[in-house]
Amino acid sequence: MTRKICMLTLILTAILLHGIHAEAAPTTYGSTGLIDIPTADVIRTDQLELGYYSMDRKNYEVFAVPLTRSIEMSGSLRDENEDRTLKTLSTKINLKQESIISPGVAVGVYDLMNNDKRSVYISASKAMPFGLRLTAGVGTQYYKNGFVGLETKLIPLSKGGSFPDMSLMIERIDKKTSYGLRMATAKGLQITAGWRDREPFWGITYTMP
């Protein structure tokens, strides 16, 4: 009897946790994650992430490419005086895949070239019941005060299921709070918009294939 109860609990938990967060998408700095904070996820070896963000009255182009199954390289380019400049180059290593019981864990280095603020961090992500996924981490420099983010897939508003998948993201990093919505309009194509520290931003990202 006890074994059956445990098995049913695991199955129900798996159903609750399955597919609750949006497809992988690059952050405003390129690494796979939410708005600014990196999650424990890395892109698959057969994927490529590209994106465009408008924020802080500047335009950013971001990317993430896989180096191995557990390592991704990412970066951001900024338009400065009509010239594209590589602003940041970062890397992230997934140490542990997320499971039903334990969180996924990754370590990374933001801004390897130290053009902005080279920072080392560790990030953990875990799906929770009721459609929530929590990410938290800490590190040096940019991440010295820690970071935390919450993501949830919103319930479709149409009964026919034609309403696009949409996720709500809330995060806190470097003593700044950001809010955003990420909507999947087509396979791999996502639109993100919201507020970063009270300033509006928007972006379009595409994950191939």
Encode pLDDT of 168-185 as tens digits: 999 999 999 999 999 988
Q: Please state which CATH number belongs to domain 2-208.
A: 2.40.160.40
> 121 or 5: whose pLDDT is higher?
121
pLDDT surpasses 50 at 46: yes
Q: State phi, psi for 100 to the nearest 5 degrees.
A: -60, -35
> Cβ distance 191 to 182 under 8 Å?
yes
Nearest to 126 by CA among 146, 148, 155, 93: 148
Give CA–CA dist 123/105, Å, rounded.
Answer: 6
CA atoms within 13 A on the CB side of 179: 3
Which stretches of the chain are DSSP H helices?
A: 2-17
DSSP designation for 30: S
Residue type (1 letter), 35: I
pLDDT band at 186 (very low <50, low <70, confident <90, very high): confident
User: pLDDT tens digits, residue range 72-115?
Assistant: 999 999 876 667 789 999 999 999 999 999 999 999 999 999 98
Contact 193, 201 (CB under 8 A): yes
CA 101 to chain centre: 21
Are 109 and 25 contacting, i.e. CB atoms less than 8 angstroms apart? Answer: no
Which is nearest to 113 in space by CA: 93, 90, 141? 90
The residue ranges of every structural domain in the chain are 2-208
As a whole number, the mean pLDDT across the chain is 86
Over residues 193-200, mean pLDDT: 95
Long-range contacts at 192-195 (CB < 8 A, ≥ 24 apart): 192/25, 192/35, 192/53, 194/35, 194/169
* Cβ atoms of 140 and 121 closer than 8 Å: yes
Average pLDDT over residues 125-132: 91
Quote the CA–CA distance of 199 and 168 in Å, as a whole number: 17
CB-based contact 22:184 (threshold 8 Å) = yes
